[in-house]
């Protein structure tokens, strides 16, 4: 492939690829996303490739495609057969021959591999009919299934780089910025700053050297949408960045990827190489006179580097310590030059906005929050996975309609949204619309979109302790109040969960949390007390049970619970006895067992193993 030298050539190439792809009669799209990979989807893909070869179907238009994330992680590994969109779940290597001979060759649907609706008990063959997908609006993530992320041609075939040719040929930098402003797009990385305005500020700053950066240092525990986007469709991010660079006048850019995401790294590197080869990056892109080169920077493992000033400091070869703003990155960013930094999901929205117009984009969502947002729906929820929904959808829709509710019929307690610096939103606010303003008023943040569902067995004091500990380890440690304040909050929370809580602890926590929020430099510090503040706001009674009654209502805090055997239910099956790592269970076959509280280390293995529900937590 030689460099594409003009827009006409790009269009011609697109036609050629589409023509060539018409030979593909059936595609087997196997999810190789973050959720399915550990379940062996790579081996499954290979099994399909081998089987297609074996049954001599390669020439007959059957294509096997390892794709990015399809979203429905709970049912993985997933296989979707195109063009019908037939959805198979829980696939194993052994299923490959049967799928090929039955479904591909004979056109029969294999019943046992279909998704069963838990409510009606009916089998649902097509992906689009499954409740999990029905309420979603998969603007960004929907394309993952259609392309091989390693193939720039696949991306071009679905309209890739059209937006780039549009901006480079037809519209001025000001018009691009206007369009993005019109769309109402706000940063998807956390704070929700209007993207168009950010670009405008950078554009208006004088200077020949400017930079653009893609923040792919997704560090929030329980969030993996940026990983899935970069792995599933790296070119859309690159395309977004080219448009952004053109708009602000940058000729050099960086994608900062977490080192913990080796596949995302590889894909991004490869996508840049391909784009360079095709002439979509480099000098004189599509004969427009516009130059842009992109580089990859590996993050070396520091949550705080997700903060923009820390990230830039890290690119410069220093430690990721946030710095004083102003000056803002759009004024003095990377190497003190005007810089626009946006996260993966933000960049991925840009080509859609250019292709279909800012007005179209603004038609989705609420008054102040436009477009869609990808959430990673995890925790105590049936349909774990990545979901993309229009802004303004209620939490109820996400957790119950899409998420399928709480497993094992347990009671829904709330969600933790926005990453470690987010907040816990209680069940009573389940009809809260999910947009920037509503979440902030409820004490949480949109963050990058981690959404952790919690049930009656989740202790909110423990959750607050967990996040406080996480943030205290991840704090860079510069601001005294962030470092020491978080340590002290953790200390108090530990006391409370260990039964050493005292009167006045709650008030002190609240006072300290507000000071930490007020007096720290960067976004990490300023939002770090949110888990404490929101749990105090909505779940104060749990704190009080820990402190006053020395009880953990959720049965989580080890020091406050005891395990015992329910004599009515115990069948004397010996399972707990044999598996107890501390030899704390006594008894004999078909006799009621007993747990010695002195020896018990409260690991919970008896509770999780008992089939008769005979272990009680008090």
Contact region for other proteins (CB under 8 A) — 169-177, 277-285, 315-323, 586-594? 315-323
**Which of residues 4, 223, 311, 536 is near other proteins by CB under 8 A?**
223
User: What span, in angstroms and rounded, lies between the C-alpha atoms of 394 and 375?
Assistant: 13
What is the full DSSP assignment across 589-607? TTS--EE-TTT-----HHH
Is residue 597 within the footprint of other proteins (CB under 8 A)?
Answer: no
**Which of residues 609, 612, 616, 617 is near other proteins by CB under 8 A?**
609
Per-residue binding string, other proteins, 339-378, x by CB under 8 A, is: -------------------------------------x-x
CB atoms within 10 A of CB 618: 10
- Yes or no: say if 141 and 229 are a contact pair by the CB < 8 Å rule: yes
Using CB under 8 A, which residues numbered 49 to 78 contact other proteins? 73-74, 76
Residue 180 CB, nearest approach to other proteins (Å): 25
| Between 18 and 508, CB nearer to other proteins | 508
| Between 42 and 550, CB nearer to other proteins | 42
CB atoms within 10 A of CB 98: 14
Cβ neighbours of residue 267 under 8 Å, at least 6 residues apart?
149, 150, 230, 231, 234
- Yes or no: say if 300 and 313 are a contact pair by the CB < 8 Å rule: no
Is residue 521 within the footprint of other proteins (CB under 8 A)?
Answer: yes
**Which of residues 259, 541, 562, 591 is near other proteins by CB under 8 A?**
259
User: What span, in angstroms and rounded, lies between the C-alpha atoms of 112 and 130?
Assistant: 16
Tell me phi and psi for residue 598, to 5 degrees: -70, -40
Please give the DSSP secondary-structure letter assigned to residue 303.
Answer: G
Handedness of CA 421, 426, 427, 428 (dihedral sign): negative
CB atoms within 10 A of CB 42: 15
Is residue 454 within the footprint of other proteins (CB under 8 A)?
Answer: yes
Is residue 583 within the footprint of other proteins (CB under 8 A)?
Answer: no
- Yes or no: say if 41 and 76 are a contact pair by the CB < 8 Å rule: yes
| Between 222 and 572, CB nearer to other proteins | 222
**Which of residues 371, 385, 426, 529 is near other proteins by CB under 8 A?**
385
| Between 62 and 424, CB nearer to other proteins | 424
| Between 246 and 261, CB nearer to other proteins | 261
| Between 38 and 207, CB nearer to other proteins | 38
Residue 476 CB, nearest approach to other proteins (Å): 5
Residue 97 CB, nearest approach to other proteins (Å): 25
Is residue 380 within the footprint of other proteins (CB under 8 A)?
Answer: yes
User: What span, in angstroms and rounded, lies between the C-alpha atoms of 449 and 218?
Assistant: 10
Is residue 266 within the footprint of other proteins (CB under 8 A)?
Answer: no
Residue 303 CB, nearest approach to other proteins (Å): 7
Through-space distance between the first and last CA atoms of the chain, rounded to whole angstroms: 68
**Helix ranges restricted to H, 99-233:** 131-134, 152-157, 162-169, 173-183, 195-204, 225-232
Is residue 550 within the footprint of other proteins (CB under 8 A)?
Answer: no
**Which of residues 42, 251, 410, 478 is near other proteins by CB under 8 A?**
478
User: Which of 115, 606, 24, 63 lies closest to 385 in space, CA to CA?
Assistant: 115
Tell me phi and psi for residue 199, to 5 degrees: -65, -40
Using CB under 8 A, which residues numbered 236 to 255 contact other proteins? none
Is residue 600 within the footprint of other proteins (CB under 8 A)?
Answer: no
Is residue 423 within the footprint of other proteins (CB under 8 A)?
Answer: no
Residue 499 CB, nearest approach to other proteins (Å): 16
Using CB under 8 A, which residues numbered 283 to 312 contact other proteins? 297-298, 300-304
Is residue 579 within the footprint of other proteins (CB under 8 A)?
Answer: yes
Token pair for residue 324?
């004083």
| Between 352 and 593, CB nearer to other proteins | 593
| Between 154 and 226, CB nearer to other proteins | 226
User: What span, in angstroms and rounded, lies between the C-alpha atoms of 587 and 332?
Assistant: 71
Instruction: Determine the 3-state secondary structure of 293 from DSSP.
Output: strand
Alpha carbon 149 to its chain's center: 18
**Which of residues 504, 566, 591, 613 is near other proteins by CB under 8 A?**
504
Is residue 197 within the footprint of other proteins (CB under 8 A)?
Answer: no
Contact region for other proteins (CB under 8 A) — 1-9, 340-348, 481-489, 532-540? 481-489
| Between 27 and 67, CB nearer to other proteins | 67
**Helix ranges restricted to H, 94-137:** 95-98, 131-134
**Which of residues 273, 518, 596, 618 is near other proteins by CB under 8 A?**
518
Is residue 565 within the footprint of other proteins (CB under 8 A)?
Answer: no
Kind and range of the H or E run holding 339: strand 339-343
Residue 175 CB, nearest approach to other proteins (Å): 31
Contact region for other proteins (CB under 8 A) — 196-204, 256-264, 394-402, 545-553? 256-264
Q: Residue 371: which region, alpha, beta or left (left: phi > 0; alpha: psi -120 to 50)? A: left
Residue 73 CB, nearest approach to other proteins (Å): 4
**Which of residues 8, 174, 566, 608 is near other proteins by CB under 8 A?**
608
Is residue 333 within the footprint of other proteins (CB under 8 A)?
Answer: no
User: What span, in angstroms and rounded, lies between the C-alpha atoms of 559 and 497?
Assistant: 7
Is residue 390 within the footprint of other proteins (CB under 8 A)?
Answer: no
Contact region for other proteins (CB under 8 A) — 9-17, 31-39, 123-131, 393-401? 31-39
User: What span, in angstroms and rounded, lies between the C-alpha atoms of 63 and 68?
Assistant: 16
- Yes or no: say if 486 and 516 are a contact pair by the CB < 8 Å rule: yes
Is residue 37 within the footprint of other proteins (CB under 8 A)?
Answer: yes
Is residue 133 within the footprint of other proteins (CB under 8 A)?
Answer: no
**Which of residues 143, 229, 349, 458 is near other proteins by CB under 8 A?**
458
**Helix ranges restricted to H, 184-233:** 195-204, 225-232
115 burial level (CB within 10 Å; 0-12, 13-18, 19+): buried
Side-chain half-sphere CA neighbours of 287 within 13 A: 10
């Amino acid at each position: 492939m030689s460099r594409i030298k003009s827009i006409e050539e790009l269009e011609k190439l697109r036609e050629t690829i589409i023509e060539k792809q018409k030979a593909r009669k059936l595609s087997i799209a196997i999810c190789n996303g973050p959720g399915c990979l550990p379940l062996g989807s790579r081996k499954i893909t290979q099994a399909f490739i081998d089987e297609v070869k074996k049954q001599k179907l390669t020439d007959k238009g059957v294509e096997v495609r390892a794709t990015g994330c399809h979203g429905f992680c709970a049912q993985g590994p997933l296989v979707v057969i195109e063009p019908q969109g037939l959805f198979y779940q829980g696939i194993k290597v052994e299923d490959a021959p049967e799928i090929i001979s039955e479904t591909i060759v004979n056109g029969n649907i294999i019943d046992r591999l279909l998704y069963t609706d838990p409510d009606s008990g009916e089998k649902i063959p097509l992906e689009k009919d499954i409740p999990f997908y029905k309420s979603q609006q998969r603007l960004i993530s929907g394309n993952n299934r259609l392309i091989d992320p390693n193939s720039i041609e696949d991306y071009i075939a679905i309209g890739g780089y059209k937006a780039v040719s549009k901006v480079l040929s037809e519209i001025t930098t000001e018009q691009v910025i206007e369009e993005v402003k019109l769309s109402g797009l706000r940063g998807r990385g956390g704070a929700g700053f209007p993207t168009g305005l950010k670009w405008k500020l950078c554009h208006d700053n004088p200077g020949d050297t400017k930079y653009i950066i893609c923040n792919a240092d997704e560090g929030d525990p329980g969030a993996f949408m940026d990983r899935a986007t970069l792995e599933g469709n790296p070119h859309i991010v690159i395309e977004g960045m080219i448009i952004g660079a053109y708009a602000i006048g940058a000729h050099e850019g960086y994608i900062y990827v977490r080192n913990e995401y080796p596949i995302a790294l590889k894909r991004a590197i490869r996508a840049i190489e391909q784009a360079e080869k095709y002439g979509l990056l480099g000098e004189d892109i599509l004969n427009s006179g516009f130059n842009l080169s992109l580089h990859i920077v590996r993050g070396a493992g520091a949550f705080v580097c997700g903060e923009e000033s820390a990230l830039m400091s890290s690119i410069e070869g220093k430690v990721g310590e946030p710095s004083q703003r102003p000056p803002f990155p759009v004024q003095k960013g990377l190497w003190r030059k005007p810089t626009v930094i946006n996260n993966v999901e933000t960049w991925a929205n840009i080509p859609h906005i250019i292709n279909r117009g800012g007005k179209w984009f603004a038609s989705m969502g609420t008054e102040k929050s436009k477009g869609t947002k990808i959430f990673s729906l995890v925790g105590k929820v049936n349909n774990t996975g990545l979901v993309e929904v229009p802004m303004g959808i209620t939490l109820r829709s996400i957790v119950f309609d899409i998420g399928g509710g709480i497993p094992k019929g347990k009671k829904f307690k709330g969600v933790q949204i926005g990453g470690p610096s987010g907040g816990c939103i209680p069940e009573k606010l389940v009809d809260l619309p999910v947009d920037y303003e509503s979440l902030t008023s409820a004490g949480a943040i949109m963050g990058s979109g981690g959404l952790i569902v919690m049930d009656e067995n989740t202790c909110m004091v423990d959750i607050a302790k967990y996040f406080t500990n996480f943030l205290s380890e991840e704090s860079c440690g510069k601001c005294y109040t962030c470092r020491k304040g978080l340590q002290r909050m953790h200390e108090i929370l530990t006391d409370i969960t260990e039964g050493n809580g005292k009167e006045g602890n709650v008030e002190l926590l609240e006072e300290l949390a507000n000071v930490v929020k007020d007096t720290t430099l960067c976004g990490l510090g300023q939002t770090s007390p949110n888990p404490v503040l929101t749990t105090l706001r909505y779940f104060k009674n749990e704190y009080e049970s820990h402190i006053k009654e020395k009880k953990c209502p959720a049965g989580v805090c080890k020091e406050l619970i005891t395990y015992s055997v329910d004599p009515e239910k115990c069948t004397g099956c010996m399972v707990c006895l044999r598996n107890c790592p501390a030899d704390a269970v006594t008894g004999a076959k078909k006799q009621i067992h007993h747990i010695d509280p002195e020896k018990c280390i409260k690991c919970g293995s008896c509770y999780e193993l008992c089939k008769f529900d005979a272990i009680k937590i008090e």
